[in-house]
Amino acid sequence: MRYIRKLILPTLLLILLHPSTSFALLCSGNGGTFVLPSGLAIGADLEDGTIAWESETFSRSVSCQPDGTDPGSITDQIPISIYVNPKNHVIDGGIEVGMRFNGKIYTRAGEKIPTGIQTEKVCGIDGIPGMCERRAHFTLDYSIVVIKRGVFPPSGQATQVAAYTVFTVDREKSLSARQMFNPTVYNLQLLRSSACTPTLNIVPDHITFPMVHARDAQRGKVASAVDFNLEISRTCSRDLFTSEAKFTPVTATDAAGMLVPDDNPSVGISLVRADNRTKAPFNKWFNLHSASYREVVRVPFRADLIWREDQPKVGPFNAAVVVELIHY
């Protein structure tokens, strides 16, 4: 009897010591990394909780399947979650890094965010009808955010981490070190603190197009144009600085680089740099001005009202954009 007990006990210990090969979910995706502008500066005067920088919204394809021999039934569904800062990167102060998902921002290390997605039984693996696995294929929409939080260290450098893994995707309870979908921010160690944040003014802050006649409409033709300026003031410092801007539509949508009002899609608005005649994009960062010592930088723009239909809807319309600014 003693001999049998010596054989059984080590077997039980081996099972208890190796659970990870049975419970991990391996997920992979098509990128999702972003390189910050080198030397991105965050004003020390920004209020805590302010979004200092946010990437464009990524829409990435993700595939998940059990990693190893899974003990469950092939019909069991495995819930899939997002885990923030899975590598527990350390930030010394001044900022937080996280993600925006379903309209909410998450920054706390190890925080679990249920996606509402589960694996399903999929057959026909490798072209074999009877070969079945539990898999999930889905699209993940998110953006990466940097938030002002706390005080920067005396060095002005928030972290030494060059490659910051923002989040990963895994199953409900187990984190695998082998995950292949790890959206990452690069150049975070080059982010620095600055004495103050530039002030942005839009002159005029409201644009009113003159009345146009629908009878003159011709698809693609400019119906009217109004000039305006973006003015960047930085009176607290005379250091050399460069800035980028982003136009985000409000009460309107971006249709192939044209701002289309929600209440009248028969017209569109194009924002054009008057100094170089290039069209400004929506939902993407673009260079606003380069290497200036001036206290006030004025960048001229033109808003073109463009017919999108030959028989447009008659009446007033409204569209707006939020203008964001970063400097370095």
Instruction: List CB contacts of 234: < 8 A, sequence separation 6 or more.
Output: 196, 198, 199, 241, 295, 296, 297, 327
pTM over 0.75: no
CA 177 – CA 282 distance, rounded (Å): 37
Give 75-85 pLDDT, tens digit per residue.
578 899 999 99
CB 161 within 8 A of CB 95: no
Beta strands, E only, 209-251: 222-233, 241-250
Residue 122 lies in a domain: yes
User: Quick check: is 11 in a domain?
Assistant: no
Query: Do 142 and 175 belong together in one domain?
Result: yes
What residue ranges of the chain have pLDDT lower than 50? 1-22
190 and 205 co-located in one domain: no
pLDDT in tens, 269-312: 999 999 889 999 999 889 998 877 777 889 999 999 999 999 99
pLDDT at 15: 32
**Pairwise CA distance, residues 233 & 164, whole Å:** 32
Q: Are residues 148 and 72 in the same domain?
A: yes
Distance CA 25, CA 27 (A): 6
The pLDDT of residue 7 is 34
Residue 277 lies in a domain: yes
Entry field: residues in the chain: 328
Listed in sequence order, the residues at least 6 apart from 19 whose beta carbon sits closer than 8 Å to its beta carbon are none
pLDDT at residue 72 in the model: 56
Last residue of a domain, one of 173, 194, 215: 194
Q: How many domains does the chain have?
A: 2
- Same domain as 73, residue 188: yes
CA distance 187 to 109: 20
Closest by CA position to 106, among listed 85, 88, 124, 79: 85
Domain check: are 59 and 181 in the same one? Answer: yes
Tell me the residue range of the domain where 232 lies: 199-327
Last residue of a domain, one of 138, 166, 194: 194
Please check whether residues 156 and 246 belong to one and the same domain. Answer: no
What is the structure's pLDDT at 3?
31
Examine residue 5 and state whether it is found in any structural domain, yes or no.
Answer: no
Cα gap 270→252, rounded to integer Å: 12
Judge whether 2 lies within some domain: no
Q: Are 58 and 184 contacting, i.e. CB atoms less than 8 angstroms apart?
A: no
User: How far, in Å, CA of 139 to CA of 240, rounded?
Assistant: 41
- Look up residue 326 and give its DSSP letter: E
| Cβ-Cβ contacts under 8 Å for 175 (sequence gap 6 or more) | 24, 83, 86, 168
CATH number at residue 100: 2.60.40
pLDDT at 174: 67
CA angle, 321 then 97 then 200, to 5°: 35
Considering the domain architecture, whether residues 274 and 134 belong to the same structural domain is answered as no
State the first-to-last Cα distance of the chain, in angstroms, to the nearest integer. 76
Q: What per-residue confidence (pLDDT) applies to 194?
A: 84
34/71 same-domain check: yes
Residues 131 and 249: their CA atoms lie apart, in Å, by: 47
Q: Per the domain annotation, does 16 fall within a domain?
A: no
Domain boundary among 148, 171, 194: 194
What is the per-residue pLDDT for 1?
32
Residue 12 belongs to a domain: no
In a domain, 280, yes or no: yes
Q: What are phi and psi of 257, to 5 degrees?
A: 80, 15
* 219 in the same domain as 142: no
- Cα–Cα dist 31/184, whole Å: 9
Is the same domain home to 169 and 32?
Answer: yes
Distance CA 47, CA 149 (A): 8
Structural Rg of the chain based on CA atoms: 26
For residues 205 and 302, membership in a common domain is answered with yes
CATH of the domain at 299: 2.60.40.1090
**45 and 143 within one domain:** yes
Instruction: Give pLDDT, residue 75.
Output: 59
